[in-house]
Amino acid sequence: MPTENTRSYDVIVIGAGPVGENVADRTTAAGLSTVIVESELAGGECSYWACEPSKALLRPVLLRADAAHVPGLDPAVKGPLDVEAVLAHRNRMSADWKDDGQVEWIKSAGIDLVRGHGRLTGEREVSVTTPAGDTVRLRARHAVAVCTGSSAALPALPGIEKLRPWTSREATSAQRPPQRLVIVGAGVVGVEMATAWQALGSRVTLLARGDGLLPRTEPFAGEMVTERLREAGADVRFNVSVVGAERVGEGGNEVRVTLSDGGVITADEILFATGRAPRSQDIGLDTVGLNPGDWLATDDSLTVTAVPGNWLYAVGDVNRRALFTHQGKYQARVAGAVIAARARGERLDTGRWAPHSSTADVEAVPGVVFTDPEIASVGLTVREAERTGRDVEVVDYEIGHLAGAVQYRPDYRGRARILIDRDRQVVVGATFVGPGVAELLYSATVAITGEVPVERLWHAVPAFPTISEVWLRLLETRRDS
Protein backbone atom coordinates (compact mmCIF):
# COMPACT_ATOMS: atom_id res chain seq x y z
CA MET A 1 0.00 0.00 0.00
CA PRO A 2 1.46 3.43 -0.96
CA THR A 3 2.84 5.47 1.92
CA GLU A 4 3.65 9.13 2.48
CA ASN A 5 6.31 10.87 4.55
CA THR A 6 7.75 14.35 4.88
CA ARG A 7 11.38 15.40 5.21
CA SER A 8 13.06 18.80 5.56
CA TYR A 9 16.43 19.94 4.18
CA ASP A 10 18.22 23.20 3.63
CA VAL A 11 18.42 22.56 -0.14
CA ILE A 12 16.49 20.36 -2.58
CA VAL A 13 18.04 19.59 -5.96
CA ILE A 14 15.85 18.13 -8.71
CA GLY A 15 18.06 16.14 -11.09
CA ALA A 16 21.18 14.09 -10.29
CA GLY A 17 23.13 14.71 -13.48
CA PRO A 18 26.55 16.38 -13.37
CA VAL A 19 24.92 19.77 -12.77
CA GLY A 20 22.69 18.66 -9.91
CA GLU A 21 25.52 16.69 -8.34
CA ASN A 22 27.76 19.75 -8.40
CA VAL A 23 25.11 22.04 -6.89
CA ALA A 24 24.59 19.50 -4.11
CA ASP A 25 28.32 19.07 -3.60
CA ARG A 26 28.83 22.83 -3.18
CA THR A 27 25.89 23.35 -0.83
CA THR A 28 26.84 20.31 1.25
CA ALA A 29 30.44 21.54 1.47
CA ALA A 30 29.03 24.84 2.75
CA GLY A 31 27.34 22.98 5.60
CA LEU A 32 23.81 22.91 4.17
CA SER A 33 21.85 19.66 4.33
CA THR A 34 21.00 18.68 0.77
CA VAL A 35 18.89 16.07 -1.00
CA ILE A 36 18.91 15.15 -4.70
CA VAL A 37 15.83 13.79 -6.49
CA GLU A 38 16.41 11.65 -9.59
CA SER A 39 13.88 9.84 -11.80
CA GLU A 40 16.38 7.98 -14.00
CA LEU A 41 20.09 7.21 -13.53
CA ALA A 42 22.26 9.22 -11.16
CA GLY A 43 24.92 10.75 -13.37
CA GLY A 44 22.46 12.02 -15.94
CA GLU A 45 22.47 12.40 -19.71
CA CYS A 46 26.18 13.14 -20.00
CA SER A 47 27.28 9.93 -18.32
CA TYR A 48 25.08 7.50 -20.22
CA TRP A 49 23.75 9.01 -23.46
CA ALA A 50 25.89 12.02 -24.38
CA CYS A 51 29.45 13.09 -23.49
CA GLU A 52 30.89 9.81 -22.23
CA PRO A 53 29.49 7.33 -24.79
CA SER A 54 29.86 9.66 -27.78
CA LYS A 55 33.51 10.41 -27.04
CA ALA A 56 34.17 6.71 -26.43
CA LEU A 57 32.83 6.06 -29.94
CA LEU A 58 34.84 8.89 -31.46
CA ARG A 59 38.23 8.38 -29.77
CA PRO A 60 39.24 5.31 -31.85
CA VAL A 61 38.02 7.06 -35.00
CA LEU A 62 40.13 10.18 -34.45
CA LEU A 63 43.18 8.26 -33.23
CA ARG A 64 43.13 6.06 -36.33
CA ALA A 65 42.76 9.12 -38.57
CA ASP A 66 45.96 10.56 -37.08
CA ALA A 67 47.87 7.27 -37.02
CA ALA A 68 47.04 6.58 -40.66
CA HIS A 69 49.14 9.61 -41.59
CA VAL A 70 52.17 8.97 -39.38
CA PRO A 71 55.13 7.15 -41.00
CA GLY A 72 55.66 3.76 -39.41
CA LEU A 73 52.13 3.57 -38.07
CA ASP A 74 50.18 3.94 -41.29
CA PRO A 75 50.41 0.28 -42.44
CA ALA A 76 49.20 -0.92 -39.04
CA VAL A 77 45.91 1.01 -39.19
CA LYS A 78 44.82 0.40 -42.77
CA GLY A 79 42.11 -2.09 -41.86
CA PRO A 80 38.65 -1.38 -40.46
CA LEU A 81 38.02 -0.65 -36.82
CA ASP A 82 37.17 -3.55 -34.51
CA VAL A 83 33.53 -2.56 -34.12
CA GLU A 84 32.81 -5.03 -31.35
CA ALA A 85 35.76 -3.75 -29.31
CA VAL A 86 34.80 -0.10 -29.87
CA LEU A 87 31.22 -0.71 -28.74
CA ALA A 88 32.40 -2.72 -25.74
CA HIS A 89 34.65 0.20 -24.75
CA ARG A 90 31.69 2.57 -25.17
CA ASN A 91 29.62 0.33 -22.91
CA ARG A 92 32.31 0.40 -20.22
CA MET A 93 32.62 4.17 -20.41
CA SER A 94 28.84 4.36 -19.94
CA ALA A 95 29.14 2.05 -16.89
CA ASP A 96 26.89 -0.40 -18.75
CA TRP A 97 24.06 2.04 -17.96
CA LYS A 98 24.24 1.31 -14.24
CA ASP A 99 24.64 4.11 -11.71
CA ASP A 100 26.14 2.24 -8.75
CA GLY A 101 29.34 4.31 -8.85
CA GLN A 102 27.46 7.60 -9.00
CA VAL A 103 25.21 6.61 -6.10
CA GLU A 104 28.25 5.65 -4.04
CA TRP A 105 29.79 9.09 -4.69
CA ILE A 106 26.59 10.88 -3.72
CA LYS A 107 26.46 9.02 -0.42
CA SER A 108 30.18 9.58 0.24
CA ALA A 109 29.67 13.33 -0.21
CA GLY A 110 27.03 13.36 2.51
CA ILE A 111 24.15 14.00 0.12
CA ASP A 112 20.82 12.21 0.41
CA LEU A 113 19.30 10.66 -2.74
CA VAL A 114 15.59 10.12 -3.31
CA ARG A 115 14.69 8.14 -6.41
CA GLY A 116 11.49 9.09 -8.16
CA HIS A 117 9.79 11.83 -10.12
CA GLY A 118 10.02 15.19 -8.37
CA ARG A 119 7.48 17.97 -8.83
CA LEU A 120 7.27 21.39 -7.26
CA THR A 121 4.09 21.77 -5.19
CA GLY A 122 4.58 25.32 -3.96
CA GLU A 123 7.21 27.61 -2.48
CA ARG A 124 10.20 25.52 -1.33
CA GLU A 125 8.18 22.31 -1.59
CA VAL A 126 8.76 19.24 -3.77
CA SER A 127 6.69 16.07 -3.94
CA VAL A 128 8.41 12.88 -5.13
CA THR A 129 6.56 9.87 -6.52
CA THR A 130 8.84 6.89 -5.97
CA PRO A 131 9.08 3.83 -8.26
CA ALA A 132 7.05 1.93 -5.67
CA GLY A 133 4.24 4.49 -5.89
CA ASP A 134 4.95 6.06 -2.50
CA THR A 135 5.03 9.82 -1.97
CA VAL A 136 7.91 11.64 -0.31
CA ARG A 137 7.23 15.29 0.51
CA LEU A 138 10.33 17.47 0.75
CA ARG A 139 10.57 20.94 2.24
CA ALA A 140 13.54 23.26 1.72
CA ARG A 141 14.55 25.84 4.31
CA HIS A 142 16.55 27.86 1.78
CA ALA A 143 16.52 26.76 -1.86
CA VAL A 144 15.24 24.46 -4.59
CA ALA A 145 17.49 24.02 -7.62
CA VAL A 146 15.96 22.69 -10.84
CA CYS A 147 18.69 20.77 -12.70
CA THR A 148 16.56 18.61 -14.98
CA GLY A 149 18.51 19.32 -18.17
CA SER A 150 17.21 18.98 -21.71
CA SER A 151 16.05 16.27 -24.08
CA ALA A 152 16.10 15.80 -27.83
CA ALA A 153 13.56 17.95 -29.70
CA LEU A 154 11.83 16.11 -32.52
CA PRO A 155 10.38 18.00 -35.50
CA ALA A 156 6.62 18.25 -36.11
CA LEU A 157 6.71 15.62 -38.85
CA PRO A 158 3.47 13.76 -39.69
CA GLY A 159 3.61 10.17 -38.43
CA ILE A 160 6.82 10.62 -36.47
CA GLU A 161 5.42 8.66 -33.54
CA LYS A 162 5.31 5.55 -35.77
CA LEU A 163 8.77 6.14 -37.22
CA ARG A 164 10.75 4.92 -34.20
CA PRO A 165 13.47 7.50 -34.91
CA TRP A 166 16.83 7.67 -33.23
CA THR A 167 17.60 10.63 -31.01
CA SER A 168 20.98 11.31 -29.46
CA ARG A 169 20.23 8.60 -26.88
CA GLU A 170 19.82 5.81 -29.44
CA ALA A 171 22.74 7.11 -31.50
CA THR A 172 25.15 6.86 -28.58
CA SER A 173 23.85 3.57 -27.15
CA ALA A 174 23.14 1.43 -30.24
CA GLN A 175 24.68 -2.03 -29.98
CA ARG A 176 25.40 -2.45 -33.70
CA PRO A 177 25.99 -0.10 -36.64
CA PRO A 178 23.03 0.28 -38.98
CA GLN A 179 23.95 -0.54 -42.56
CA ARG A 180 22.42 2.75 -43.74
CA LEU A 181 21.89 5.76 -41.47
CA VAL A 182 20.21 9.07 -42.33
CA ILE A 183 21.12 11.94 -39.98
CA VAL A 184 18.96 15.06 -39.97
CA GLY A 185 20.73 18.07 -38.49
CA ALA A 186 23.97 19.99 -39.02
CA GLY A 187 24.87 20.68 -35.40
CA VAL A 188 27.32 19.01 -33.04
CA VAL A 189 25.31 15.81 -32.47
CA GLY A 190 24.72 15.36 -36.19
CA VAL A 191 28.34 15.77 -37.30
CA GLU A 192 29.83 13.80 -34.39
CA MET A 193 27.51 10.85 -34.95
CA ALA A 194 28.13 11.02 -38.70
CA THR A 195 31.87 10.84 -37.99
CA ALA A 196 31.49 7.91 -35.59
CA TRP A 197 29.03 5.68 -37.43
CA GLN A 198 30.58 6.24 -40.86
CA ALA A 199 33.89 5.00 -39.43
CA LEU A 200 32.13 2.04 -37.79
CA GLY A 201 30.77 0.83 -41.10
CA SER A 202 27.46 2.63 -41.68
CA ARG A 203 26.69 4.37 -44.96
CA VAL A 204 25.79 7.81 -43.65
CA THR A 205 23.68 10.46 -45.35
CA LEU A 206 23.82 13.79 -43.48
CA LEU A 207 21.08 16.33 -44.27
CA ALA A 208 21.50 20.04 -43.47
CA ARG A 209 18.74 22.61 -43.83
CA GLY A 210 21.23 25.41 -44.41
CA ASP A 211 24.25 25.78 -46.66
CA GLY A 212 26.87 24.45 -44.24
CA LEU A 213 27.62 22.36 -41.17
CA LEU A 214 27.98 23.70 -37.63
CA PRO A 215 26.42 27.11 -38.31
CA ARG A 216 27.37 28.48 -34.87
CA THR A 217 31.09 28.10 -35.56
CA GLU A 218 33.33 30.01 -37.95
CA PRO A 219 32.41 28.96 -41.53
CA PHE A 220 35.85 27.47 -42.24
CA ALA A 221 35.31 24.96 -39.41
CA GLY A 222 32.20 23.46 -40.99
CA GLU A 223 33.83 23.48 -44.42
CA MET A 224 36.81 21.45 -43.23
CA VAL A 225 34.58 18.89 -41.47
CA THR A 226 32.41 18.61 -44.60
CA GLU A 227 35.45 17.89 -46.73
CA ARG A 228 36.68 15.18 -44.40
CA LEU A 229 33.27 13.52 -44.03
CA ARG A 230 32.94 13.32 -47.78
CA GLU A 231 36.44 11.90 -48.10
CA ALA A 232 35.42 9.22 -45.58
CA GLY A 233 32.43 8.28 -47.74
CA ALA A 234 29.54 10.16 -46.13
CA ASP A 235 26.89 11.74 -48.35
CA VAL A 236 26.57 15.33 -47.07
CA ARG A 237 23.70 17.36 -48.54
CA PHE A 238 22.86 21.02 -47.99
CA ASN A 239 19.72 23.16 -48.33
CA VAL A 240 17.44 20.16 -47.92
CA SER A 241 14.93 19.07 -45.28
CA VAL A 242 12.74 16.08 -44.54
CA VAL A 243 9.09 16.52 -45.58
CA GLY A 244 7.99 12.95 -44.94
CA ALA A 245 9.22 9.64 -43.56
CA GLU A 246 7.68 6.24 -42.97
CA ARG A 247 8.60 2.73 -41.92
CA VAL A 248 8.45 0.24 -44.81
CA GLY A 249 9.63 -3.27 -45.58
CA GLU A 250 9.17 -6.48 -43.64
CA GLY A 251 8.35 -5.59 -40.05
CA GLY A 252 9.06 -1.94 -40.80
CA ASN A 253 12.80 -2.60 -40.89
CA GLU A 254 13.49 0.25 -43.31
CA VAL A 255 12.83 3.99 -43.33
CA ARG A 256 11.80 5.76 -46.51
CA VAL A 257 12.62 9.46 -46.31
CA THR A 258 11.15 12.05 -48.68
CA LEU A 259 13.16 15.27 -49.08
CA SER A 260 12.18 18.84 -49.88
CA ASP A 261 14.03 18.65 -53.20
CA GLY A 262 11.93 15.66 -54.30
CA GLY A 263 14.57 13.07 -53.52
CA VAL A 264 13.87 9.82 -51.67
CA ILE A 265 16.32 7.95 -49.43
CA THR A 266 15.87 4.48 -47.97
CA ALA A 267 17.79 3.66 -44.80
CA ASP A 268 17.76 1.33 -41.83
CA GLU A 269 17.63 4.07 -39.20
CA ILE A 270 17.03 7.83 -39.09
CA LEU A 271 18.56 10.09 -36.45
CA PHE A 272 16.99 13.46 -35.73
CA ALA A 273 19.66 15.77 -34.31
CA THR A 274 17.48 18.84 -34.55
CA GLY A 275 17.91 20.62 -31.25
CA ARG A 276 17.05 20.34 -27.57
CA ALA A 277 13.99 21.04 -25.41
CA PRO A 278 13.87 21.73 -21.66
CA ARG A 279 12.90 18.91 -19.33
CA SER A 280 10.37 21.03 -17.51
CA GLN A 281 7.02 19.70 -18.74
CA ASP A 282 6.03 17.72 -15.66
CA ILE A 283 7.91 19.22 -12.71
CA GLY A 284 5.14 21.36 -11.21
CA LEU A 285 6.10 24.72 -12.68
CA ASP A 286 2.46 25.78 -12.72
CA THR A 287 2.38 25.64 -8.90
CA VAL A 288 4.86 28.52 -8.73
CA GLY A 289 3.41 30.62 -11.56
CA LEU A 290 5.51 29.29 -14.44
CA ASN A 291 4.53 27.54 -17.66
CA PRO A 292 5.24 23.79 -17.90
CA GLY A 293 7.61 22.98 -20.74
CA ASP A 294 9.28 26.41 -20.78
CA TRP A 295 12.97 27.19 -20.46
CA LEU A 296 13.60 28.77 -17.05
CA ALA A 297 15.05 32.25 -17.37
CA THR A 298 17.55 33.28 -14.70
CA ASP A 299 19.80 36.18 -13.86
CA ASP A 300 23.58 35.72 -13.62
CA SER A 301 23.22 34.30 -10.10
CA LEU A 302 21.13 31.46 -11.59
CA THR A 303 18.07 32.64 -9.66
CA VAL A 304 14.77 32.21 -11.56
CA THR A 305 13.71 35.78 -12.20
CA ALA A 306 9.95 35.19 -12.57
CA VAL A 307 9.55 33.68 -9.08
CA PRO A 308 9.76 36.08 -6.11
CA GLY A 309 11.70 35.34 -2.97
CA ASN A 310 15.11 34.26 -4.32
CA TRP A 311 14.55 30.59 -3.45
CA LEU A 312 14.18 28.93 -6.89
CA TYR A 313 17.24 28.30 -9.06
CA ALA A 314 17.59 26.82 -12.55
CA VAL A 315 21.01 25.45 -13.36
CA GLY A 316 22.36 23.78 -16.51
CA ASP A 317 20.58 23.14 -19.78
CA VAL A 318 17.13 23.91 -18.39
CA ASN A 319 17.94 27.64 -18.24
CA ARG A 320 19.18 27.70 -21.88
CA ARG A 321 22.16 29.91 -21.05
CA ALA A 322 24.81 27.54 -22.45
CA LEU A 323 23.93 23.94 -23.26
CA PHE A 324 27.20 22.21 -22.33
CA THR A 325 27.89 19.86 -19.43
CA HIS A 326 31.02 21.76 -18.44
CA GLN A 327 29.15 25.07 -18.51
CA GLY A 328 26.36 23.61 -16.40
CA LYS A 329 28.92 22.45 -13.83
CA TYR A 330 30.38 25.97 -13.83
CA GLN A 331 26.90 27.36 -13.20
CA ALA A 332 26.48 24.80 -10.42
CA ARG A 333 29.57 26.11 -8.65
CA VAL A 334 28.23 29.66 -8.90
CA ALA A 335 24.72 28.67 -7.80
CA GLY A 336 26.11 26.70 -4.86
CA ALA A 337 28.04 29.76 -3.70
CA VAL A 338 24.96 31.97 -4.13
CA ILE A 339 22.71 29.60 -2.13
CA ALA A 340 25.29 29.33 0.64
CA ALA A 341 25.80 33.10 0.83
CA ARG A 342 22.07 33.79 1.05
CA ALA A 343 21.64 31.07 3.68
CA ARG A 344 24.28 32.86 5.78
CA GLY A 345 22.63 36.22 5.22
CA GLU A 346 25.60 37.55 3.26
CA ARG A 347 25.43 40.17 0.53
CA LEU A 348 26.00 38.78 -2.96
CA ASP A 349 28.91 39.90 -5.11
CA THR A 350 27.41 39.82 -8.62
CA GLY A 351 29.80 42.05 -10.52
CA ARG A 352 31.48 40.97 -13.74
CA TRP A 353 33.61 37.86 -13.09
CA ALA A 354 32.56 37.97 -9.41
CA PRO A 355 32.05 34.76 -7.35
CA HIS A 356 28.24 35.01 -7.50
CA SER A 357 27.94 35.73 -11.23
CA SER A 358 28.07 33.28 -14.15
CA THR A 359 29.76 35.80 -16.45
CA ALA A 360 31.39 33.08 -18.56
CA ASP A 361 27.95 32.09 -19.90
CA VAL A 362 28.05 35.32 -21.89
CA GLU A 363 31.73 36.06 -22.41
CA ALA A 364 33.63 32.78 -22.68
CA VAL A 365 31.74 29.57 -23.38
CA PRO A 366 34.25 26.90 -24.51
CA GLY A 367 33.25 24.00 -26.71
CA VAL A 368 34.86 21.14 -28.61
CA VAL A 369 33.41 19.28 -31.58
CA PHE A 370 35.11 15.88 -31.66
CA THR A 371 35.10 15.42 -35.42
CA ASP A 372 37.91 14.86 -37.91
CA PRO A 373 39.31 17.51 -37.77
CA GLU A 374 38.55 18.64 -34.22
CA ILE A 375 37.04 22.07 -33.61
CA ALA A 376 37.75 24.02 -30.42
CA SER A 377 36.24 27.45 -29.86
CA VAL A 378 35.54 29.95 -27.09
CA GLY A 379 34.13 33.45 -26.99
CA LEU A 380 32.98 35.36 -30.05
CA THR A 381 32.95 34.36 -33.70
CA VAL A 382 33.15 37.00 -36.45
CA ARG A 383 29.42 36.64 -37.05
CA GLU A 384 28.62 37.18 -33.36
CA ALA A 385 30.93 40.18 -33.15
CA GLU A 386 29.19 41.77 -36.13
CA ARG A 387 25.73 40.99 -34.72
CA THR A 388 26.56 42.58 -31.36
CA GLY A 389 28.42 45.56 -32.81
CA ARG A 390 31.81 44.63 -31.36
CA ASP A 391 34.82 46.18 -33.12
CA VAL A 392 37.29 43.33 -33.47
CA GLU A 393 40.50 42.59 -35.32
CA VAL A 394 40.60 39.13 -36.95
CA VAL A 395 43.89 37.23 -37.06
CA ASP A 396 44.24 33.88 -38.89
CA TYR A 397 47.06 31.35 -39.13
CA GLU A 398 47.51 27.99 -40.87
CA ILE A 399 48.34 25.54 -38.08
CA GLY A 400 49.97 23.13 -40.53
CA HIS A 401 52.91 25.53 -40.88
CA LEU A 402 54.02 24.77 -37.32
CA ALA A 403 56.88 22.36 -36.71
CA GLY A 404 54.88 20.88 -33.82
CA ALA A 405 51.92 20.25 -36.13
CA VAL A 406 54.13 18.45 -38.67
CA GLN A 407 55.53 16.31 -35.84
CA TYR A 408 51.96 15.49 -34.83
CA ARG A 409 50.93 14.57 -38.37
CA PRO A 410 53.11 15.21 -41.45
CA ASP A 411 50.19 16.25 -43.64
CA TYR A 412 48.62 18.39 -40.91
CA ARG A 413 45.97 20.84 -42.11
CA GLY A 414 44.27 23.24 -39.74
CA ARG A 415 43.44 26.83 -39.05
CA ALA A 416 43.51 29.14 -36.05
CA ARG A 417 41.65 32.40 -35.60
CA ILE A 418 41.61 34.88 -32.75
CA LEU A 419 39.47 37.98 -32.38
CA ILE A 420 40.98 40.98 -30.59
CA ASP A 421 38.87 43.79 -29.15
CA ARG A 422 40.36 46.92 -30.73
CA ASP A 423 39.47 49.16 -27.80
CA ARG A 424 40.58 46.96 -24.92
CA GLN A 425 43.36 45.09 -26.76
CA VAL A 426 42.36 41.71 -25.34
CA VAL A 427 41.33 38.44 -27.00
CA VAL A 428 37.54 38.01 -27.09
CA GLY A 429 37.23 34.96 -29.33
CA ALA A 430 39.27 32.01 -30.57
CA THR A 431 38.65 29.10 -32.93
CA PHE A 432 41.05 26.26 -33.71
CA VAL A 433 40.43 23.56 -36.32
CA GLY A 434 42.75 20.59 -36.79
CA PRO A 435 43.84 17.30 -35.24
CA GLY A 436 44.42 17.53 -31.48
CA VAL A 437 43.33 21.16 -31.08
CA ALA A 438 41.01 20.43 -28.16
CA GLU A 439 43.98 20.84 -25.82
CA LEU A 440 44.52 24.41 -27.06
CA LEU A 441 41.15 25.49 -25.76
CA TYR A 442 41.94 26.07 -22.10
CA SER A 443 44.74 28.52 -22.89
CA ALA A 444 42.31 30.52 -25.04
CA THR A 445 39.67 30.42 -22.30
CA VAL A 446 42.18 31.71 -19.73
CA ALA A 447 43.25 34.51 -22.09
CA ILE A 448 39.64 35.63 -22.51
CA THR A 449 38.40 35.27 -18.92
CA GLY A 450 41.62 36.78 -17.57
CA GLU A 451 41.38 39.63 -20.10
CA VAL A 452 45.10 39.26 -20.68
CA PRO A 453 46.46 42.24 -22.66
CA VAL A 454 47.76 41.18 -26.07
CA GLU A 455 51.15 42.70 -25.28
CA ARG A 456 51.38 40.47 -22.19
CA LEU A 457 50.76 37.37 -24.34
CA TRP A 458 54.17 37.94 -25.96
CA HIS A 459 55.63 36.86 -22.63
CA ALA A 460 53.72 33.55 -22.58
CA VAL A 461 56.36 31.37 -24.26
CA PRO A 462 55.10 28.20 -26.01
CA ALA A 463 57.37 25.15 -25.95
CA PHE A 464 58.95 24.01 -29.22
CA PRO A 465 57.89 21.92 -31.10
CA THR A 466 54.26 21.92 -29.99
CA ILE A 467 51.00 22.95 -31.59
CA SER A 468 50.60 25.55 -28.83
CA GLU A 469 53.22 27.59 -30.70
CA VAL A 470 50.27 28.75 -32.79
CA TRP A 471 49.79 31.49 -30.19
CA LEU A 472 53.18 32.99 -31.04
CA ARG A 473 52.50 32.72 -34.77
CA LEU A 474 49.14 34.47 -34.39
CA LEU A 475 50.83 37.35 -32.55
CA GLU A 476 53.54 37.54 -35.22
CA THR A 477 50.94 37.53 -37.98
CA ARG A 478 49.16 40.42 -36.34
CA ARG A 479 52.41 42.35 -35.85
CA ASP A 480 53.55 41.81 -39.42
CA SER A 481 50.22 42.89 -40.87
pLDDT per residue as tens digits for the range 187-197: 999 999 999 99
Rounded mean pLDDT of the chain?
Answer: 97
Confidence at residue 1, expressed as pLDDT on a 0 to 100 scale: 61
Confidence at residue 78, expressed as pLDDT on a 0 to 100 scale: 85
Judge whether residue 411 has pLDDT over 90.
yes
pLDDT > 70 fraction of the chain, expressed in percent and rounded: 100
Q: Sorting pLDDT into bands at 50, 70 and 90, what band is 2? A: confident
What are φ and ψ of residue 410, in 5° steps? -55, -30
Least confident of 72-76, 273-277, 365-369: 72-76
